[in-house]
Each structure stands twice: as structure tokens, then as C-alpha cells.
Amino acid sequence: MAGARSTRASAAVDRLKRRTGVTSYSMARTGDGLFFLSEKPGAPPLCAPLELDEFVAFVNGLGPQEVKRISKHDVEFEKQLVRKKT
């Protein structure tokens, strides 16, 4: 279970690196399993140690956000959903 937790947290950091272009971000875990983020290994943490879900949300909120692409088909589908609700 701990491996999956680390994978999910490190995937969030990898996405942050891609969004920002800053490859030096570093994630670490405390002895009691909490996560924190630093700008580079050994640098002061950018957040207090957080539980996995809080850490992922914190990291996902940093930097520029990815814009989700919406196709014409998605737009039409959304319109149909709205019409069916009314």
C-alpha cells in the first residue's frame, strides 16, 4: 500500500514539473508517512507535512493549470445532457 501512495504523490509532482518546467521539485516523506514538497532536495519545504490526498491537492493547485481540450462532440453532448434534464 505504501508504494501506491508514493506513486500517486510522485505522479502529482511529475505533473507539476511538466506544467512549470521546473525539474528540481522534490517530494519527501516523513517517518509517519506524511508528504511534503521542496523546490529542490534539501531546500525548506513549501508546505507542512500533509496526508496523501491533501498533498496531491496541494501539488495539483500549484503552477499553471492544464487546460482541458473540449471537442465539438463534447460540446454537443453537454448540450444534449442539459436538454434532457429540463
pTM of the model: 0.69
13-67 pLDDT per residue, tens: 999 999 899 999 999 999 999 999 999 988 999 999 999 999 999 999 987 776 6
By CB neighbour count within 10 A (0-12 exposed, 13-18 middle, 19+ buried), where does 78 fall?
exposed
Q: Which pLDDT does position 57 carry in this prediction?
A: 94
Check whether 83 has a pLDDT greater than 80: no
pLDDT at 6: 78
| DSSP H or E run through 86 | none
